[in-house]
Structure 1
Amino acid sequence: MDRESSHESQYRALLDEAKRLNDAGRYEEALQAAEKAYDLFRDSFPKNYSALMQKKRGLAGLGRGAEAETVGRLIKELVMKDQMLRATAEARDKNIVTDRKKDLP
């Protein structure tokens, strides 16, 4: 298994684990699994983005516009996933702060 597919399988396994823990009411553990998944995605994002942009430019340069467009959609999906994960992390951080404020006397 190459490194990229290994990262992808680890990422998916962590997300599945986070969902399972969340469904079981084990929220703190679910949060930790989701954070690990986000860290893994974030660490590989620049490399994936750069490689896809190179591929898109190469295909467009060869006159293979339809394939370049498909790669462009993959890039857009990757960027959207990154933005969604960042927004989720920010919302989670705000909720944790709000929850802790509620606990204060």
Structure 2
Amino acid sequence: MTNSDVIDTELLQQYYESLGEDGLEMTLKTFDQVIQGYASLLHEAATKKDEAQLRSQAHKVKGACRSVGLKALAIYMENLEKESWDWPTAEQWLVEWADNVIPHRQQIQQWLEQQSH
């Protein structure tokens, strides 16, 4: 996956220009705090095999990911929210999403560091 497949650099550039580096850092810090709770709720819904709850949480997580430019992560959540799936598929998407949160978030950090040089 290329950087542009993973993160929305146009959105990040807009934030960087309007909020400045510190403002964008604060936005990302808030995301980092919120996403942990959302991940826990996703896990809980999957454990209970509560499809309605999983789709609802996926909607929230999709919005959170999109709001900070995490395009690829938002797509996993959009699939969970809107697509037809079976539980093994949903669980696989959740595992892949969870495995990618930190590396994708690090790509935003690297992008931000490049902007400040």
Flag the structure with larger Rg: 1
Larger relative contact order (CA 8 Å, sep ≥ 6): 2
Tell me the TM-score normalised to structure 1 length: 0.45
Q: Which has the higher helix share?
A: 1
